[in-house]
Structure 1
Amino acid sequence: MASLERELGENYAVLYPQMPGENDPSYAAWRAALIREFDLLEDGAILVGHSIGGTILLHVLAEQPPKLKLGGLFIIAAPFIGEGGWPSDDIDDLKDFSERLPPGIPVNLYHGADDDVVPTAHVHLYAKAIPHAVVRTVEHRDHQFNNDMRDVARDIRSVD
């Protein structure tokens, strides 16, 4: 997230809440933490999630959308849970993301073409589940996007 903060510059406040048990994510624990964090945000907040954090963020937003009006959702290198993606014992397979996400929220999905952790096919599964999403597969980027978030920052700045 340091790269994103650097690329966005001082006009943006980047909050990076620590999730409980980050080395062994629990959907229930992260869900509760995210819902508490949503209550601290203001209308227009832009949410960014990476990897399993992005997966959990999408599922929480689909199950219990926050009361505030979100400015955008940016998901990077997230594994898809369900048919064609990865199995999970504690995250349900949602096929109707498009109907369940907060209405009107712009969704941007990113995946590095050189990601050796989560196959690129996962972003295409999300694209089917969220047809209005903008999908970007970025060449020469790994799972961590080579710590280069300029593409994501550019798109976040375009939301304003």
Structure 2
Amino acid sequence: MARQVLFVHGGGEGAYDEDAKLAASLRGALGADYVVRSPRMPNEEEPDYEVWKNVIAGELAAMGSGAVLVGHSIGASVVIRAVVDGGIGQSLAGAFLLATPFWYDHEFWRWDEVKLPPNAAERIASGLPVFLYHGRQDEVVPFSHVEMYARALPQATIRRLDGRNHQLNDDLAEVARDIMLLR
């Protein structure tokens, strides 16, 4: 039976279409043993945490236990907050976060709905693999954000990628390798 992967795209105008290249890269790198679903999230121009979380929970419910959850940018912010809150209602095989903004009390990087609570690391299901990937040449989300996640989620595996931009140069080979290691 094929392993189920849910890819959650980023936010902003045209994000679904832009991130379709990432979903295609992941699909190609994983091969026929995996099914990668990438639904268009509602109102991508102005994402709403509760709405997106509910869509993610519904998609995962249809996939069943043991699905892999992958999020990019704003989508990754929603994914990690939902995982921390236990709001997805499914047992996951792993959470993979790409170019994830770290939201904190800052003029620009402030989105209170997805801001991680101080005890985020303790609230993640025991044994759930969490991976973060960030390109050193990310022109959208500063590279320093992955370092903030490294401090907030010390159990996470951090992949710092040289020569990669916000879209990770449309290449998710490293992500696919890590997903395949879960088997």
Asked whether the two chains share a fold, i.e. TM above 0.5, the reply is yes
Tell me, which stretches of 5 or more residues in structure 2 are unaligned?
1-22
**1:130 aligns to 2:147 (yes or no):** no
State the match for 2:64 in structure 1. 42
- Inter-partner Cα distance in structure 1 for 2:153 and 2:168: 22
Change (3 A) 1:120 1:91: same
Amino acid aligned to 1:80: F
8 A Cα contact 2:64 2:90, kept in partner? yes
* Structure 2 Cα separation of the partners of residues 155 and 112 of structure 1: 16
Q: SS of 2:163's equivalent?
A: coil
> Contact 2:101 / 2:109 at 8 angstroms: preserved in 1?
yes
Q: Which residue of structure 2 lines up, in the alignment, with residue 29 of structure 1?
A: 51
Alignment partner, residue 84 of structure 2: 62
Alpha-carbon shift at residue 88 of structure 1 (Å): 1.4
1:16 to 38, 41, 54: 38
Q: Which runs of 5+ in 1 are unaligned?
A: none
Relative distance call for 1:93 and 1:133 in structure 2 (3 A) is closer
Instruction: Determine what percentage of the aligned residue pairs are the same residue.
Output: 39
**Deviation per residue, 1:70-111 (Å, 9 max, x gap):** 111110000011257821154344222211122210011000
Tell me the TM-score normalised to structure 1 length: 0.92
- The structure richer in strand per residue is 2
Matched residues in 1 for 2:144 and 2:72: separation?
16
TM-score (norm 2): 0.81
Give the count of matched residue pairs. 160
2:136 is equivalent to residue 113 of structure 1: yes
Match of 1:3 among 25, 29, 39: 25
Say whether the 8 Å CA contact 1:55–1:80 is kept in structure 2.
yes
SS in 1 for 2:151: helix
